[in-house]
């Protein structure tokens, strides 16, 4: 099984590429979904978040108020580090369990969708690393147009991740998303074929 990590800074188009990989036959492990699973009511993770950040990040129904938590940590480096220390070990353990299940089934290509791959994990732990990238100006416009963020909030969200320039040289493949959707799909399809070739070589 080829164990692949796909990453990309916010609004770069990573999720679109991962969705196509799924359609083309990849097994997907979605880190954001694992985070939501880890933060369900009744979990030790949510209890630890409540203890660290207070009751105001918990909704009346006992679920996590993600917007409130994001607002707390966006401008607080220490808070963000504390949150990562609570959540990421749990997510990493679950990802490893799911990867072992995929390998046992004999799945050909496992794609791990990991937004903060370079920030919190070792890319070397994966067989292949793929970066989906787009210029900062393009990503800012997408955040403002598609998510309704202000210019300042968009820039703050962009600044919370390591610059893509630092990630490009450490990635095995870079899929640039600065053109049309059709161009992105064509480039993604070329990379997918490379993954199939690599998985055949590894078999």
pLDDT tens track for 77-103: 899 899 999 999 999 999 999 999 999
3-state class of 174 per DSSP? strand
pLDDT classification of 134: cutoffs 50, 70, 90 = very high
CATH superfamily of 1-25+108-203: P-loop containing nucleotide triphosphate hydrolases (3.40.50.300)
pLDDT tens digits along 43-66: 999 999 999 999 999 999 999 999
Domain spans of the chain, in order of start? 1-25+108-203, 35-93
Give the neighbor-by-neighbor strand order of the sheet with 2-7.
27-30, 109-113, 2-7, 128-133, 173-176
Q: How confident is the model at residue 118 (pLDDT cuts 50, 70, 90)?
A: very high
Task: Name residue 113's beta-bridge partners.
Answer: 6, 30
pTM given for the model: 0.92
For residue 156, what pLDDT is reported?
86
Check residue 203 and give its pLDDT. Answer: 63
Contact between 134 and 50 (Cβ < 8 Å):
no
What's the mean per-residue pLDDT of the chain?
A: 94
Instruction: Report the pLDDT averaged over residues 186-193.
Output: 98
pLDDT at 17: 98
The DSSP code for 116 is: T
Would you state the pLDDT for residue 70? 87
């Amino acid at each position: 099984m080829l164990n692949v990590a796909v990453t990309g800074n916010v609004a770069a188009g990573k999720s679109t590429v991962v969705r196509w990989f799924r359609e083309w036959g990849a097994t997907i492990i979605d880190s954001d979904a694992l985070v939501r699973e880890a933060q369900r009511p009744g979990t030790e993770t949510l209890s630890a978040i409540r203890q660290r950040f207070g009751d105001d990040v918990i909704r009346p129904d006992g679920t996590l108020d993600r917007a409130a938590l994001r607002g707390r940590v966006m401008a607080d480096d220490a808070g963000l580090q504390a949150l990562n220390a609570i959540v990421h070990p749990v997510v990493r353990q679950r990802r490893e369990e799911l990867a072992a299940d995929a390998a046992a089934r004999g799945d050909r290509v496992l794609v791990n969708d990991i937004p903060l791959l370079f920030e919190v994990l070792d890319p070397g732990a994966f067989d292949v690393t793929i970066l989906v990238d787009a210029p900062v100006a393009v990503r800012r416009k997408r955040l403002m147009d598609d998510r309704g963020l202000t210019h300042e909030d968009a820039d703050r969200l962009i600044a919370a991740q390591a610059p893509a320039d630092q990630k490009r040289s450490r990635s095995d493949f870079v899929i640039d998303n600065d053109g049309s959707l059709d161009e992105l799909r064509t480039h993604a399809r070329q990379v997918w074929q490379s993954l199939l070739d690599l998985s055949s070589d590894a078999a």
